[in-house]
Each structure stands twice: as structure tokens, then as C-alpha cells.
Structure 1
Amino acid sequence: MFFASDNWAGASQPIMDALARHNDGYSPAYGGDPLTDQITQKFRDIFETDCDVWMVATGTAANALSLSCATGPGGAVFCHKEAHIRVDECGAPEFLSSGARMWGLEGRHCKLTPDSIKNGFEEIPQGVVHHGMANAISLSQATEAGTAYSVKEIEAMSDLAKSRELALHMDGARFANALVSLDCTPAEMTWKAGVDMLSFGATKNGAWAAEAVVFFNKQLGKNFEYRRKRAGHLFSKMRFAAAQFDGYFKDDHWLANARHANTMASNLIAGIQKSKKAQLAWDSQSNEVFVYLPTDLAAKLETAGAAFHEWPENTLAEEDKPQDGFGLYRLVCSYRTTDQDVDQFLDFLKD
């Protein structure tokens, strides 16, 4: 019963096969190989536009380096107060952007709203040098709470960004999970809705270590290759990063993985909703499920081998905090989650 994180799952077989397939012989280093060119074109085909694509090893690098392209002296990035770039990246976005602040804003279930952004505009007004200068808005898709921004919500954020000439960034660590949940195209969920740059994650969805920065606004990323090199993320054997994406995209493997993980999460939700011992905290639009459990039951589950994460209560809105004797727990499904994992967990919730 492994629900701690989708990072716990290993690489999927098609990706491992692709790594082996592209291992023979010699190929130019540092991205000068034919496979890297092919994968760049594959990204352009998937997103239906002439975007620039740069591969890196980690989501932290993808986020920090892309945001560094949008920020300047005294810069700030509006994001949710629980966004990964603000809470879980050890200050890398600030460091690699030469000090830009990740300006945390409120929003229930880790989603920014137009009102959140307008509050940010009031906190960092234009032309007041003492407060700094807002440069970007960053959205997590799917969010840290398992929710997702609809295409219309992304468009609304884009309109607000454009009203202040801010770049719109998307942290897509779980991009595929949000995409299949919304049942739209990659283009519709990104540049057609006004997204300027995307951190495209594959690692959580079956890759070994494969992330990419995609610039739909190519002017923003004109010097990105130098930032990537300086940060130590220019692979010498770039073909192995590209090989992972080759296996990831082949026969829509990436979408199949995401659909499976989301389905397992939906099955968990269905079982939780039938239980009298547990309560669904809020609806999920990805592979993450948040549930209220009695703390003694959570302890029994862990003793039985279940792995999951207790969510910090101090990050929650008052209406989302668990009642006495209960805790809020996050369950994350992956492409490797099985029906047996789900059924075994739900058995503990039966009367």
C-alpha cells in the first residue's frame, strides 16, 4: 500500500526499454544528437506550436531556471503560499533568479483565484520601488492539493498577468494527470490559454529523471541554454534524457500512465465515500487524494505497511482542518498502483 508519493514508483518498462535501445554506439554530446532534435520536434507536435524545449534532470531545476528568465532586480513571482516553488525547493527559485521573491498568496485547496492575484497587485503596486516589482505568476497544474485549474481559470490568470505585463508560468510536475482529468489538449491547457512557459514533468509519471522547460514565449527563453549550463543541468549524454521522453511519448504511454494513476485515485475516493470511518476532504482532479482518518486508524494502517503523508494542519483553511481525533492525510497513486493496493487500504475502512 504505497501511497506516499508517485516519486516512489520506479521507471516504467517502456522508458527503461528506450534507455537500453538508445544505449548502443556513439552519439554527439551536450544535446547535439539526432534523438534530442527528434524529441524537441515531438514536443512541438504535441503542443501544436513552434516552442523551444530544454531538458533538465529535476523539477526544481525546471521551475527555478524558467522563472529566472522572467524575473529581474527586485523581482517577485506570485504563487500559492503552498506552491512547491515556495515551500519545497530549498530557495532554488530565489537563488537562481538572483533573489526574486516567491510571493505566497492565499487560495483554498492550493488554487490561486483572481482575487488572490488582485491582492498580490495591492501588496506589490506598480512603480513603488520599495516593494519590488512583480514579474510572473506561477500556477501548479495539478496543484499540491490534487486540484486542477480549468482552461477558463488559466485564461483568467493569463488576462490578469497581461494586465501587468507579467509572465505566466505553469509548474507541470503532474501535468499529464491534470491533462487527462480535464480531457483537453496540451495546447488548450497551455499556450492557447495564455501560458508563456511550462515546467513539463515526466519523473512522477514513470520516467527515471526527465523534466523539460517549454517556452511558448520564445523571447523569454532566449538565454536559457546559458542558464542551464551555469546551473549544471546541461547533460553531457543528453540522448539519455531524450531517450526517456522517447519511451514516455511512444504510443501515448505518458497518457496511459496518468489515466491509470487517476483511475486508482478515483477508486480510492469511491471507497472512502462509502466508509463511515473516513471522510473525503475535497474532490480530486488528479492522482492525489486527501482524506480525514481517525489518528488511531492511521497508525494501524502504517503498522500494516501503508505509506502515506500526514498533511500539516497549520497550512489549512479553518474550514478544512480535521476535527479532534482525526488527521488529514494525502494518498498519492502512481502508474504502478494496483487494485490490490487500493482494496487492501479500503478494507481497513470497512466497519
Structure 2
Amino acid sequence: MNFASDNVYGVHPKILASLSEANAATSPSYGGDSFTARAEERLKEVFGCDLRAFLVTTGTAANGLSLSAITPGYGAIICNAEAHISVDECNSPEMFTGGAKIMGLQGTGGKITPAQVEKTLKGFIRGEHDPKPKGVSLTNATELGTVYSPAEVTAFSRLIRPRGMKLHMDGARFANAVAGLGVTPAELTWKAGVDVLSFGATKNGAMMLEAVIFFDLSLAEDFAYRRMRSGQLISKSRYLGAQMLAYLEGGLWLENARRANALAQKLAAGLTRTGTVRIPNPVEANEVFAVMPRSLYDRLLASGAMFYDWMPDSLGGAIGDHEIFTRFVLSFATPEDEVERFVQLVAAG
């Protein structure tokens, strides 16, 4: 019963098969292969627009490189205080941007609001003594398993675009957000004003695959150099392109996300029925956050279940002295019977 992360599970068989196919013959290197070219064309079809896509191996690289195209070292990027770019990437965005300031705002449910951003922007009154606000980064789905709707994303774009700022979306779990909302990829990105997307696949069935997708094509200028300098231009690039083709083929990426999301709903409903666990945040993607008695937490860990205790401050509300805030992540590959077995363990008291 492993609910620690969607990274703990393996690669989808169809993606493994695509890697085997790519391995069968010789191919041009450094992005010159047909797999990579076809993957970019397929992404254009999925998003319904012209775009530039650059394949990389990690979400950390995708985020840092995306932001480097938005802001110079004297700029500032506004995000949620618990966003990956703020607390989980070891200052990688600061490194890739040459020192830009990542400004994290506290928000409920893993989100921030346009009103918070607007208030923050009003504090930039010192001219060149302040960093220059250059962009906003939204995590979708968020670190607390909630999602931004197209209308919410549009509100950020309308606020910052007149100020010459750009909108980035960290989409490590973008598939789960799209599946949860029941919208199109276009509606959640470029139609809502997103300029650049970190498009995640690794958490959703790929081996190691993310993409930096530019909807504002001007931002892609010189990006090939940025990717090369970062060590993210893979010599045997066909293995990234092959993964992306299989990930998108037949809507596999959304099929995987829908299953993970459905399992999260099943787990949340089951935990709620036990009466000993409460779910304080809406479950809108593939993560479930729960408050439980510490004694129950200890018993579940002793039984072999794997999940994380989480930062209580992110709950936005008080928990009891004998309670603990926990996180469960569901994968496309999580066995359904493990969800059922875990709920039974909780219900056993």
C-alpha cells in the first residue's frame, strides 16, 4: 500500500514499448530524430495551436528553464509559498534565471489569488532597488491537490499582461488538472493566457519526460541554447520523443490521469466514511490530504502502509495536539484493491 508519491510506480507498458521501438535502429542525435519532430507536431494537435516544445528529463529543469525565458536575474516571479519552484527545487529557478527572486505568497488550498498578486505588485515602489516583477507561476494541479480553473487562470493573465509580465504554469500534474476539470488542454493554457507550460509526464506514466511548451513563441528565441547549456539536450533524444508520442497516443495521458483521480476520490470517500479521518481540502486531482489521530497514523505505518505526514501550516487551520496532517498520492498504476484494503485498515480502529 504505497501512497507516498505518483513517482513510486513504474512506466506504462505502452511507453516502455515505444522505447523498445526507438531502440531498434539508428537515429539522428541531439533532437534531430523523427520521434522528437513528430512529438512536437503531436503536441500542436493536442493543444490546438502553434507552439514550440522542448523535451527535457525533469520537472525541475522544465521549471527553471521556463522561468529563465521569462525573467532576467534582476526580476521577480510570484507564486504560492509552497510551490515547487519556491521550496522543492534547491534554488534551481534562481540558478537558471541568474538570480531572479522567487516570491512566495501564502494561500489556502495551495493557491494564490489575483488580489494577492495585485497587492504584492503595489509594494514595488522603490524602482531599481526592488526586483522587477516579470511573471507569475501557477502550479496546476497545486501542491495540495486543488486545481485552477480556466477562469481563474484568465484572471491572472488579465492582471499581469498589461504590466508586461508573463504567466508560467507548472504542470507536473497538468494531466490530472485537465482530467479533473473536464476541460481541454487549450482552455487551461493558451486560451486562458498562459505563456509557457512545464508539461509533466513522469508522474503520469513516463520514465523521465517533461516538456517546456511555449505558447508565446517569442519566448522560445534562443531557448535551444538555454537547454543545451543546462545539460538538458539529450544526445539520444529519440528516447524522449518516443515517450512523448506514446504518452499522447490515443489520449493515454488523460486516461492515466482519470484513473489516478478516480482512485483519489475513492480513497477520500472511504476515509471520510470511517469517521476517524477528515478531508479538509477538496480532492480535485490525484492527491488526498487528510487529518487523522496520531495513534492511527502510527498504526498504519506499522502495518506497512506508505504515505507522508505533511506540513501542518499548509492546512490553513488548527489541528489538535494528537492529530497529524497527511498526504496520499494516487497513481495510474495504484492497485484498486490496495485502496480498499487501506480503508479497511483505517476503519478497523
Match of 2:109 in 1: 109
Distance in 2 (CA, whole Å) between partners of 1:146 and 1:50 is: 30
- Write the letter of the residue equivalent to 1:310: D
Match of 2:185 in 1: 186
Match of 1:123 in 2: 123
Shift of 1:295: 0.7
Match of 2:76 in 1: 76
1:333 to 327, 330, 333: 330
Distance in 1 (CA, whole Å) between partners of 2:251 and 2:315 is: 36
Shift of 1:290: 0.4
Match of 2:50 in 1: 50
Matches within 5 A, 1:287-306: 287-306=286-305
Q: Secondary structure in 2 aligned to 1:181? A: helix
Contact residue 110 and residue 314 of structure 2 kept, 8 A:
no
Matched, 1:176 2:183: no
Matched, 1:342 2:342: no
Shift of 1:119: 2.2
Distance in 2 (CA, whole Å) between partners of 1:322 and 1:244 is: 43
Matched, 1:67 2:36: no
Matched, 1:41 2:41: yes
Structure 2, unpaired ranges of 5+: none
- Write the letter of the residue equivalent to 1:235: I
- Write the letter of the residue equivalent to 1:309: Y
Shift of 1:253: 1.0
Shift of 1:349: 2.2
Shift of 1:164: 1.3
Matches within 5 A, 1:1-351: 1-125=1-125, 128-317=127-316, 319=317, 321-350=318-347, 351=349
- Write the letter of the residue equivalent to 1:163: P
Q: Secondary structure in 1 aligned to 2:169? A: strand
Q: Secondary structure in 2 aligned to 1:284? A: coil
Distance in 2 (CA, whole Å) between partners of 1:201 and 1:164 is: 28
Contact residue 195 and residue 216 of structure 2 kept, 8 A:
yes
- Write the letter of the residue equivalent to 1:123: G
Contact residue 66 and residue 221 of structure 1 kept, 8 A:
no
Contact residue 147 and residue 286 of structure 1 kept, 8 A:
yes
Post-superposition CA distance 1:128-185 (Å, at most 9, x none): 1111100010000000000000110000011111131110000000000000100010
Contact residue 108 and residue 314 of structure 2 kept, 8 A:
no
- Write the letter of the residue equivalent to 1:339: E
Q: Secondary structure in 2 aligned to 1:187? A: helix
Distance in 2 (CA, whole Å) between partners of 1:189 and 1:20 is: 33
Distance in 1 (CA, whole Å) between partners of 2:114 and 2:25 is: 53
Contact residue 51 and residue 214 of structure 1 kept, 8 A:
yes
Query: How many equivalent pairs are there?
Result: 348
Q: Secondary structure in 2 aligned to 1:144? A: coil
Distance in 2 (CA, whole Å) between partners of 1:123 and 1:28 is: 51
Q: Secondary structure in 2 aligned to 1:104? A: strand
Shift of 1:336: 0.9
Shift of 1:208: 0.2
Shift of 1:333: 0.1
Shift of 1:251: 1.6
Contact residue 101 and residue 131 of structure 2 kept, 8 A:
no
Contact residue 276 and residue 349 of structure 1 kept, 8 A:
no
Distance in 1 (CA, whole Å) between partners of 2:302 and 2:325 is: 18
Shift of 1:269: 1.1
Shift of 1:315: 3.7
Distance in 1 (CA, whole Å) between partners of 2:124 and 2:286 is: 35
Distance in 1 (CA, whole Å) between partners of 2:342 and 2:119 is: 41
Q: Secondary structure in 2 aligned to 1:220? A: helix
Post-superposition CA distance 1:258-285 (Å, at most 9, x none): 0000000000111122121111121111
- Give the RMSD, CA atoms, in angstroms: 1.0
Distance in 2 (CA, whole Å) between partners of 1:46 and 1:62 is: 19
Distance in 2 (CA, whole Å) between partners of 1:80 and 1:119 is: 14
Distance in 2 (CA, whole Å) between partners of 1:59 and 1:336 is: 20
Q: Secondary structure in 2 aligned to 1:10? A: coil
Shift of 1:46: 0.4
Deviates most, 335-344 or 92-101: 335-344
Post-superposition CA distance 1:187-237 (Å, at most 9, x none): 000000000000000000010000000000010121110000000000001
Structure 1, unpaired ranges of 5+: none
Distance in 2 (CA, whole Å) between partners of 1:224 and 1:6 is: 29
Q: Secondary structure in 2 aligned to 1:153? A: helix
Distance in 1 (CA, whole Å) between partners of 2:83 and 2:291 is: 22
Distance in 2 (CA, whole Å) between partners of 1:221 and 1:300 is: 51
Shift of 1:23: 0.8
TM-score by length of 1: 0.97
Distance in 2 (CA, whole Å) between partners of 1:315 and 1:142 is: 15
